[in-house]
């Protein structure tokens, strides 16, 4: 019997405070919620009444003023790194980007990259929760002074639903969800840590990629060096000819295609050499662990050097050191090349792989079937003209793979324009099940009780709602029907949960690639 379950709780927010002379039908919902949120603040956080923000109708608790001499976020259009954890007014987490918090909430997955958001925070809001955007961009009223968010700012926002999750509610996804879901039209508490911002993410990631290459063998000279240009052209020669001089491969990173910027290949890479991921200069380091991922069950308990060695040893054991590219056949000497890869971010985090031995290392809680179809070689059609246009692959593969040699190791290093670009990939979690079990009904019952306590169990509606909902609905219906009828029953359930790893905008990627040798014809 296999149980994979997830708590989804409708977590209530605050009591609605109404005077006896005003009927609810005479007031708009936003005004009712403003009054209710103010009543909650007066009862629970009266010290924040002076931090009320007229624009948006929310309250701010400033936890850390940040670095005083750093530029405020609102100075210009910027891309911003910031951590977020969202809760309802009872403290139930509905979204977090913190690995430790996710583990406490039973929402953690090894497929999730727990790092700060990287989102555009400009003069127009294009991607942020409205209340978060307003707090980051506006001048905030903190008591009698005005304050603008900057590097190192930590704050807690108390947002009405009109600038929070609104009518759709909130439940994080892709491993960022909490144990509960925020119901529609509920206020929300948002904790924000601001790690830094840049105005030109394209230049930033280009610097990042070049720093990585410099630390791992060095970049080949630019094309104004005639010898370098000649060598690069020879690297990109589709098939070596007998009347031409053999290519002398070096340890440098070369452009895969002369017309494609930011896409490099190291032809002499082998797992025996290893890779150094801690490559950013100190003055560009914006948050802890940016160049060496240190979160979660695996990366948080072992050093990246230890994990890299395990990965490299597994690759060498399965594929060996590979052929010297000077002695290997070019990719297009076969119709279909079989490719094995490990896709990684530049902090060492493994995004994807089709090698089962690597999955067993990085996905510590997962049973890996060596015969699964996801653990097979990727078949790359070397005839570009005849290859199907419906095949989905990033440009880095389309341009980089044809330059490789059969039986050899390579590393592709690319800026986001050849990968997932300015949009990235959204983290998602999906589940499927063929049957049901009593635990789901029990959690439904449990979550309703939490909803009942946090929303109706307060001083404002005690006389009516406590009596009605507790005596009639809770005791007579939920307690008797759900608990008695379902909690005591048992049905086998097997649920498959699939998480797609989030890749943030403007994120460089790296692929460790081995190409199988061409099979001998019989």
Task: List the chain pLDDT tens, one digit each, 522 residues.
Answer: 332 322 223 233 333 343 334 444 557 888 889 999 999 999 999 999 999 999 999 999 999 999 998 889 987 889 999 999 999 999 999 999 999 999 998 899 999 999 999 999 998 998 899 999 999 999 999 999 999 999 999 999 999 999 998 888 888 788 998 888 898 899 999 999 999 999 999 999 999 999 999 999 999 887 666 666 666 666 655 444 444 556 678 899 999 988 899 999 999 999 999 999 887 766 666 787 888 999 999 999 999 999 999 999 999 999 999 999 989 999 888 999 999 999 999 999 999 999 999 999 999 888 888 778 788 999 999 876 544 444 568 999 999 999 999 999 999 999 999 999 999 999 988 876 654 443 333 333 333 333 333 333 333 333 333 333 333 333 443 343 333 443 444 455 666 778 899 999 999 999 999 999 987 644
Check if 1-198 and 201-425+503-515 are the same fold.
yes
Q: Cβ of 443: how many Cβ atoms within 10 Å?
A: 16
Q: What was the pLDDT predicted at 492?
A: 53
Give the start-to-end residue ranges of the domains of the chain: 1-198, 201-425+503-515, 436-490
HSE (CB half, 13 Å, CA atoms) of 16? 16
What is the 8-class DSSP label of residue 247?
P
pLDDT score recorded for residue 258: 83
Burial code (b: 16+ CB inside 10 Å, e: under 16) for 61-84 equals bbeeebeeeeebbbeeebbbbbbb
pLDDT confidence of residue 10: 28
For residue 365, give every residue at least 6 positions away whose Cβ sits within 8 Å of its Cβ, in sequence order, or none: 110, 297
For 216-295, where are the alpha helices, taking DSSP H only? 226-235
* pLDDT value of residue 226: 67
For the whole prediction, is pTM greater than 0.75? Answer: yes
pLDDT at 283: 63
How remote is the C-alpha of 187 from its chain's centroid? 25
Residue carrying the six token digits 């019952």: 445
- What fold is seen in the domain 1-198? Chitinase A; domain 3 (3.10.50)
CA–CA gap between residue 255 and residue 259 (Å, rounded): 9
The pLDDT score that the predictor gives to residue 447 is: 37
d(C-alpha 192, C-alpha 238), whole Å: 52
Q: Does domain 201-425+503-515 have CATH number 3.30.70.100?
A: no
């Amino acid at each position: 019997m296999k149980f994979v379950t997830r708590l989804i709780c409708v977590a209530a927010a605050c009591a609605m405070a109404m005077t006896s002379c005003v009927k609810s039908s005479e007031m708009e919902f936003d005004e009712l919620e403003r009054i209710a949120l103010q009543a909650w603040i007066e009862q629970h956080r009266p010290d924040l009444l002076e931090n009320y923000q007229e624009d948006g109708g929310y309250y701010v608790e400033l936890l850390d003023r940040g670095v005083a001499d750093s530029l405020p976020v609102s100075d210009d259009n910027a891309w911003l790194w910031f951590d977020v954890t969202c809760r309802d007014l009872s403290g139930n987490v509905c979204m977090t980007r913190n690995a430790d918090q996710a583990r406490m909430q039973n929402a953690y997955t090894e497929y999730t990259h727990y790092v700060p958001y990287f989102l555009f925070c400009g003069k127009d809001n294009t991607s942020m929760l409205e209340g978060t955007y307003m707090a980051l961009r506006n001048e905030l009223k903190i008591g009698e002074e005005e304050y603008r968010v900057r590097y190192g700012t930590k704050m807690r926002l108390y947002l009405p639903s009109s600038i929070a999750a609104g009518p759709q509610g909130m439940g994080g996804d892709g491993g960022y969800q909490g144990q509960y879901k925020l119901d529609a039209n509920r206020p929300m508490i948002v904790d924000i840590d601001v790690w830094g911002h840049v105005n030109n993410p394209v230049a930033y990631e280009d610097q990042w990629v070049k720093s990585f290459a410099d630390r791992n063998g060095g970049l080949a000279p630019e094309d104004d060096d005639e010898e370098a240009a000649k060598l690069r052209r020879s690297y990109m020669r589709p098939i070596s000819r007998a009347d031409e001089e053999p290519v002398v491969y070096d340890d440098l990173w070369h452009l895969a295609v002369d017309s494609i910027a930011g896409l490099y290949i190291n032809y002499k890479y082998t797992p025996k050499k290893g890779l150094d991921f801690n490559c950013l200069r100190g003055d560009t380091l914006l948050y802890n662990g940016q160049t060496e991922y240190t979160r979660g069950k695996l990366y948080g308990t072992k050093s990246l050097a230890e994990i890299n060695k395990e990965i490299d040893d597994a690759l060498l054991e399965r594929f060996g050191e590979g052929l010297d590219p000077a002695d290997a056949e070019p990719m297009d000497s076969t119709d279909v090349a079989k490719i094995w890869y490990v896709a990684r971010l530049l902090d060492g985090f493994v995004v994807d792989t089709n090698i089962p031995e690597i999955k067993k290392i990085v996905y510590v809680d997962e049973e890996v079937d060596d015969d699964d179809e996801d653990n097979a070689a990727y078949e790359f059609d070397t005839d570009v003209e005849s290859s199907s246009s419906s095949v989905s692959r990033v440009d880095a593969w389309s341009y980089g793979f044809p330059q490789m040699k059969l039986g050899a190791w390579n590393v592709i290093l690319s800026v986001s324009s050849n990968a997932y670009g300015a949009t990235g990939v959204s983290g998602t979690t999906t589940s499927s099940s063929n049957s049901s079990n009593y635990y789901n009904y029990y959690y439904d019952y449990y979550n309703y009780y939490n909803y009942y306590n946090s929303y109706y169990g307060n001083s404002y509606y005690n006389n009516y709602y406590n009596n009605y909902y507790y005596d009639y609905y809770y005791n007579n219906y939920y307690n008797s029907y759900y608990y008695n009828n379902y909690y005591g029953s048992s049905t086998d359930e097997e649920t498959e949960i699939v998480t797609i790893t989030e890749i943030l905008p403007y994120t460089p990627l790296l692929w460790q690639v081995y190409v199988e040798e061409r099979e001998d014809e019989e």
